[in-house]
Amino acid sequence: MPKSQSFENVILSIYKPISTLTLLYGLISVSFASIPIILLLNKYAYDNNGNLVCDNYVLNSYLYTILGFCYIALGMLLEQKFQIMFMVIQKGLVALIIFAIFILVTMYYMFKFIETTNPNEFIKINTYYALACMIFGFVLTTSIMMGFKINVLYQAISITIGLTFLMAFIGYKYGHNFITVDFDKYLRYSLFGLIIWSFVASMFIRDLSTRILAVSIPGLIIFCLLLMSYNNKLRKNAEKCKVPNYPKEAIGLVIKIGNLLSDIINILMVLRGRKKGNSLNFRT
């Protein structure tokens, strides 16, 4: 029979370093998964002279997004091997806050570098893009591994893919009909509000499952709306494109889809778990 584990024990159980051999197998697998994406980008994003083209703008943005998730997988493999986040968590709350600020500042500059670098500087801009995705992979590792441990990961991935396609279709096809204001600005305000709310919830909502839902459900709604708005913007950018910056478009999609996946994992985790006292318990 499957045994019941508390939320805290599940967290501890996922922080076991993988072997060097497992890391090697993971790196080889990710490399092979990346090859067809790179070949498709070479076919659709560049002309015969190696210059970027605006044709298939949305397709190329999403191909770069898929490549971004390959980089995220690399970041997760490195995190599982070297346990950076776990070492920081063990140092306490102050260390975790400092590390979080460091990650936010680093991601901010990665975003800036991707945005301001000439897209035709292939090696430079793709290095920034890969680093940004790998750092995001470090951040996502705990959530992804929790989903895997509790057997909700594949369900969460399926829901995330479905919502991504749905929001992409609505935003691209119909967004111009109802997104008539700076939708992203208000959604960013909502996102900042959600971050503040997550701190408030941690102080005032004692029940763990309620606290997770109180943060993850609004997060899911906000990131769905952000995806819809972003795809409307993709359509507009495709129409006025001169020199495409596909890594810039893709990193926005990667961050939104990754956060959406994390929120869905959290929600499914609560729905699957059963509450005992102040802990969530899971069948693993």
- The pLDDT assigned to 152 comes to 94
pLDDT higher than 60, residue 8: no
Helices (H), the chain: 7-14, 20-44, 57-82, 84-91, 93-116, 122-149, 153-178, 183-204, 208-239, 246-272
Q: What is the pLDDT of residue 201?
A: 87
Return the ∠ at Cα 110 (arms to 105 and 116), rounded to 5°. 125
Residue 108, classified by CB atoms within 10 Å of its CB into exposed (0-12), middle (13-18) or buried (19+), is exposed
Which stretch of 60-64, 118-122, 163-167, 205-209 has the lowest confidence by average pLDDT? 205-209
pTM: 0.89
Kindly write down the DSSP assignment for every residue of 4-45, as one continuous string. Answer: EEEHHHHHHHH--PPPHHHHHHHHHHHHHHHHHHHHHHHHHT
Say whether pLDDT at 110 is over 90: yes
Residue predicted with more confidence, 31 or 13: 31
Residue 9: C-alpha distances to residues 12, 92, 163, 171, 279 (Å): 5, 18, 31, 41, 10
> In the chain, where are the structural domains located?
4-283
Residue 38 has pLDDT above 60, yes or no: yes
Q: Give the pair of three-digit tokens for residue 65.
A: 């997004």
pLDDT for 9 equals: 58
List beta partners, residue 280: 275
CA-CA distance, 112 to 177, in Å (whole number)? 31
Instruction: State residue 13's pLDDT score.
Output: 62
* Contact by Cβ (8 Å): 44, 32: no
Tell me what pLDDT residue 2 has.
47
Task: Render pLDDT for 199-223 as a digit per residue (tens, 0 to 9).
Answer: 888 888 888 888 999 999 999 999 9
Segment 95-109, tens digit of pLDDT:
888 998 999 999 999
Tens of pLDDT, residue by residue over 260-278, are 999 999 999 999 875 444 4
